[in-house]
């Protein structure tokens, strides 16, 4: 039986180890992960993977080590999806990047267990500029999970990451991220995937914390028959908290499909913005795209905005877009209260139901955690 | 700018009755005070391609606006609005531009806007709409349907805005495009900005083709393919 190297065996700063122990990461590593990485501040402190995947040629390392050990693969793909000139935060990240994760899945290898990296900022006025590069070769399959947290300080910190995903022909990549940064973090990230023939990318994005988030994961559907699914939720629960999220699907090849589903909730003066961009190229025939954006406003102080943009140059496509903004209906709360729930419990239950389509695609452990996080956010309601 | 105040006695209005024939570019402001009115936009038929119309709905006002444009030739047009240059005519001369703003100022006001367009070959249609709710118990419904033919372009920029501290507000916008060709272009830019809680706002956009099964069914009932397509087009617009 292949044994997994324990988290404790690695040299991890004592304080960091304590936090990771509290979060149950060593246990998670042993029970249901193929590999685990952890980044503290701007440095990667731990990256370990089960031997069975190492033997199959899977690479799961922090970017610094990957560049030293596998320079030919790393340099071939690095900055090909998000170049330094893309936007000012990508330029900043390209100039200062440190840490992050590099994953390479060889041809035909299907990693059945998820790989996970955990990011934490513990210092005030800190900048975290990690770089994540995922390359899934032909016919491979991988699920990558990312989690982010930080404690509360008076001074703000910056998280300006760049994530690049390359899914070659017939590959499947599932990227799950749940950010629960503290409310003084500026989370300004650039995330993009380029996918080939018949490949599939599923992007699952949960935004609960941070003071300001600007995150628009994009998928460029370059190969025929490629498909992508972008699911995201935003929960703005504090005054002056602005969660600006959205998704982009760029159809450059025929028979490509994209599904964008976004759910946002705002309360206590929070602001949620949703921006989508769907582009269908002239040469791309028979494309399908579905965009859905639902927003829930829980009180009078909060506001929500949606700004979709559809640019369709080939009208053989089938495009559907729908957006809806509403409040929790009084009738629903009344019904649940008549069944014995308090008003707060009824509201929390309705919010959990509203986010159900997002939560049910998460792995079981994360789905439970997600429900708990939503309950905590709801309990904080004044 | 032409400013008109519509009161209780007004039930039906054709916009062409307000225009001065010499003026090819127009800005119309219509204040609707406590009346129910149907307005038919027949400006294109009277040679006015570019027009900005502002509807101000006072308390209890009810507006029904209808714009029908079924594939007629448009004369060469000129640029008058800054928005027009922003969205770009891209060298297509045969274009028309309409900027509609509905300000729901008073309580219990209601607006129902229907726009049905058939774009001919190489026509560009630019449509900017704004549904601005400034009072409680208001509702607005915008319904856009467009049939697109070869090389035509359709640029649709919609805004729904709900101001602060309003209740019982409903705003719905629906854009549907039926395309018979692949070499046409559609740009949708719908926006929803909500600063109140007690609202229902919806936006939907769809690009569809003719349903092959429906054509086959109609052919099986004795219609020719061309007649079946015409029949389905008419049913889409109505």
Spell out the SS3 assignment of chain A.
CCCCCCHHHCCCCHHHHHHHHHCCHHHHHHHHCCEEEEEECCEEEEEEECHHHHHCCCEEEEHHHHHHHCHHHHHHHCCCCCCCCCCHHHHHHHHHCCCCEEEEECCCCECCCCEEEEEECCCCCCEECCEEEEEECCCCEEEEEEEEECCCCCCCEEECCEEEEEECCCCEEEEEEEEECCCCEEEEEEEEEEECCCCEEEEEEEECCCCEEEECCEEEECCCCCEEEEEEEEEECCCCCEEEEEEEEEECCCCCEEEEEEEEEECCCCEEEEEEEEEECCCCCCCEEEEEEEEEECCCCCEEEEEEEEEECCCCCEEEEEEEEECCCHHHHHHHHHCCCCHHHHHHHHHHHHCHHHHCCCCHHHHHHHHHHHHHHHHCCC
The dihedral of CA B33, B37, B41, B46: what is its sign? negative
Give the separation between CA B31 and CA A251, rounded to whole angstroms: 45
Number of domains in chain A: 2
DSSP at B83: H
The shortest C-alpha distance from A329 to chain B (Å) reads 9
The pair of structure tokens assigned to B120 is 């001919």
The shortest C-alpha distance from A278 to chain B (Å) reads 10
Is A371 in CB contact (< 8 Å) with chain B? no
What is the three-class DSSP state of B220? helix
Q: What is the per-residue pLDDT for A211?
A: 83
Residue B130 pLDDT exceeds 80:
yes
Nearby residues of B119 by Cβ (< 8 Å), 6 or more positions away: B71, B125, B146, B147, B148, B149, B152, B153, B154, B184
A342 in the same domain as A242: no
The torsion angles phi and psi of A19, rounded to 5 degrees, stand at -65, -45
* H or E stretch covering B185: strand B185-194
The pLDDT tens digits of the residues spanning B34-89 come to 888 999 988 877 777 788 899 999 988 999 999 988 766 545 444 434 444 444 44
Residue B3 pLDDT exceeds 70:
yes
Is A315 in CB contact (< 8 Å) with chain B? yes
Residue range A77-103: average pLDDT? 90
A236 in the same domain as A294: yes
The pair of structure tokens assigned to B237 is 């617009």
A59 in the same domain as A145: yes
Give the separation between CA A114 and CA A136, rounded to whole angstroms: 14
The torsion angles phi and psi of A71, rounded to 5 degrees, stand at -60, -35
Q: What is the per-residue pLDDT for B78?
A: 41
Cβ contacts of B197 on chain A, cutoff 8 Å? 297-300, 302, 327
Q: What is the per-residue pLDDT for A28?
A: 65
Q: What is the per-residue pLDDT for A372?
A: 74
Judge whether B207 and A317 are in contact, CB under 8 Å.
yes
Q: Give the count of alpha carbons within 13 A of B117, CB side only.
A: 31
Is B165 in CB contact (< 8 Å) with chain A? yes
Pairwise CB contact (< 8 Å): A297 & B197: yes
Burial A273-296 (b: 16+ CB within 10 A, else e): bbbbbbbbbeebbebbbbbbbbbb
A362 in the same domain as A281: no
Judge whether A191 and A160 are in contact, CB under 8 Å.
no
A227 in the same domain as A114: yes
Is A334 in CB contact (< 8 Å) with chain B? no
Q: What is the per-residue pLDDT for A106?
A: 93
Give the separation between CA B170 and CA A326, rounded to whole angstroms: 10
Judge whether A167 and A139 are in contact, CB under 8 Å.
no
Residue A30 pLDDT exceeds 50:
yes
A321 in the same domain as A361: no
Pairwise CB contact (< 8 Å): B189 & A309: yes
Q: Residue A346 belongs to what domain range? A: 329-382
The pair of structure tokens assigned to B5 is 């105040």
Is B227 in CB contact (< 8 Å) with chain A? no
What is the three-class DSSP state of B79? coil
Q: If we measure between CA atoms, which residue out of A146, A279, A140 comes closest to residue A196? A: A140
Pairwise CB contact (< 8 Å): B192 & A322: no
The dihedral of CA A133, A260, B237, B78: what is its sign? negative
For B185, the closest of A308, A312, A324 (CB atoms) is A312
Is A303 in CB contact (< 8 Å) with chain B? yes
pTM for this prediction = 0.84
Pairwise CB contact (< 8 Å): A308 & B189: yes
Lowest mean pLDDT among A13-22, A115-124, B183-192, B215-224: A13-22
Residue B144 pLDDT exceeds 80:
yes
DSSP at B232: H
Considering only alpha carbons, which residue of chain B is nearest residue A330? Answer: B198
Residue with the larger pLDDT of the pair A314 and A39: A314
Judge whether A321 and A310 are in contact, CB under 8 Å.
yes
Pairwise CB contact (< 8 Å): B186 & A300: no
Q: What is the per-residue pLDDT for A1?
A: 33
Look up tokens 């935060």; give the residue: A89
Residue with the larger pLDDT of the pair B119 and B116: B116
A151 in the same domain as A65: yes
Give the separation between CA B50 and CA B126, rounded to whole angstroms: 9
Is A306 in CB contact (< 8 Å) with chain B? yes
Is A262 in CB contact (< 8 Å) with chain B? no
The shortest C-alpha distance from B103 to chain A (Å) reads 19
The pLDDT tens digits of the residues spanning B81-118 come to 444 444 444 444 557 788 999 999 999 999 999 999 88
Residue with the larger pLDDT of the pair B65 and B8: B65
B120-159 residues touching A, CB cutoff 8 A: 148
Which band of pLDDT confidence, cut at 50, 70 and 90, is reported for residue A20?
low
Across the A:B interface, residue pairs with CB atoms under 8 Å apart total: 110
Judge whether B185 and B221 are in contact, CB under 8 Å.
no
The shortest C-alpha distance from B27 to chain A (Å) reads 27
């Amino acid at each position: 039986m292949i044994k997994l190297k324990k988290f404790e065996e690695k040299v991890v700063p004592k304080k960091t180890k304590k936090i990771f122990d509290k979060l149950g990461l060593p246990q998670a590593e042993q029970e249901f992960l193929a590999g685990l990485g952890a980044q503290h501040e701007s440095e990667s402190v731990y990256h370990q993977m089960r031997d069975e995947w190492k033997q199959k040629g899977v690479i799961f390392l922090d970017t610094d080590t990957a560049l030293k050990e596998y320079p030919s693969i790393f340099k071939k793909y690095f900055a090909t999806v998000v170049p330094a000139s893309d936007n000012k935060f990508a330029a900043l990240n390209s100039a200062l990047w440190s840490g992050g994760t590099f994953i390479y899945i060889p041809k035909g290898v299907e990693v059945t267990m998820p790989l996970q990296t955990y990011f934490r900022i513990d210092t005030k006025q800190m900048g975290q500029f990690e770089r994540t590069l995922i390359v899934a070769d032909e016919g491979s399959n991988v699920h990558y999970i990312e989690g982010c947290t930080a404690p509360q300080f008076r001074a703000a910190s910056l998280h300006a990451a760049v994530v690049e995903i390359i899914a070659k022909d017939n590959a499947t990549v599932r990227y799950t991220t749940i950010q629960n940064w503290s409310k003084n973090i500026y989370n300004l990230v650039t995330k993009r995937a380029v996918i080939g023939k018949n490949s599939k990318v599923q992007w699952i994005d949960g935004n609960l914390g941070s003071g300001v988030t600007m995150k628009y994961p994009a998928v460029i559907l370059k190969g025929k028959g490629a498909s992508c699914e972008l699911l995201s939720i935003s929960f703005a629960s504090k005054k002056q908290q602005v969660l600006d999220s959205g998704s982009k699907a760029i159809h450059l090849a025929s028979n490509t499909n994209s599904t964008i589903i976004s759910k946002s909730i705002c309360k206590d003066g929070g602001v949620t913005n949703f921006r989508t961009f769907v582009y269908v190229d002239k040469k791309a025939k028979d494309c399908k795209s579905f965009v859905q954006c639902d927003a829930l406003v829980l009180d009078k102080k909060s506001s929500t905005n949606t700004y979709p943009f559809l640019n369709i140059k080939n009208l053989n496509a089938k495009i559907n877009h729908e957006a809806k903004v509403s409040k929790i209906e009084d009738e629903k709360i009344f019904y649940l209260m008549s069944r014995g729930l308090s008003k707060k419990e009824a509201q929390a239950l309705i919010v959990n139901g509203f986010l159900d389509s997002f939560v049910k695609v998460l792995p079981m452990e994360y789905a439970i955690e997600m429900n708990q996080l939503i309950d905590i956010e709801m309990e904080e309601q004044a | 700018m032409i400013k008109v105040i519509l009161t209780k006695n007004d039930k039906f209005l054709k916009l062409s009755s307000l225009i001065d024939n010499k003026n090819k570019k127009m800005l119309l402001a219509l204040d609707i005070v406590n009346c129910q009115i149907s307005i038919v936009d027949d400006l294109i038929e009277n040679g006015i391609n570019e027009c900005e119309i502002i509807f101000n709905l006072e308390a209890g006002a009810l507006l029904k606006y209808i714009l029908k444009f079924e594939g007629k030739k448009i004369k060469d047009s000129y640029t008058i609005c800054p928005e027009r240059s922003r969205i770009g005519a891209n060298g297509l001369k045969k274009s028309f531009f309409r900027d509609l703003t509905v300000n729901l100022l008073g309580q219990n006001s209601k607006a129902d806007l229907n726009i049905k367009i058939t774009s001919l070959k190489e026509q560009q249609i630019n449509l900017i709409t704004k549904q601005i709710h400034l009072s409680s118990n208001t509702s607005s419904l915008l319904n856009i349907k467009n049939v697109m033919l070869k090389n035509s372009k359709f640029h649709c920029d919609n805004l729904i805005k709900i101001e602060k501290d309003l209740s019982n507000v409903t705003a719905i916008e629906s854009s549907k495009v039926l395309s018979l060709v692949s070499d046409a272009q559609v740009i949708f830019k719908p926006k929803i900005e909500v600063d109140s809680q007690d609202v229902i706002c919806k936006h939907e956009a769809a690009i569809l083709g003719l349903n092959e099964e429906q054509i086959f069914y109609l052919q099986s009932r004795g219609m020719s393919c061309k007649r079946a397509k015409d029949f389905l087009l008419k049913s889409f617009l109505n």
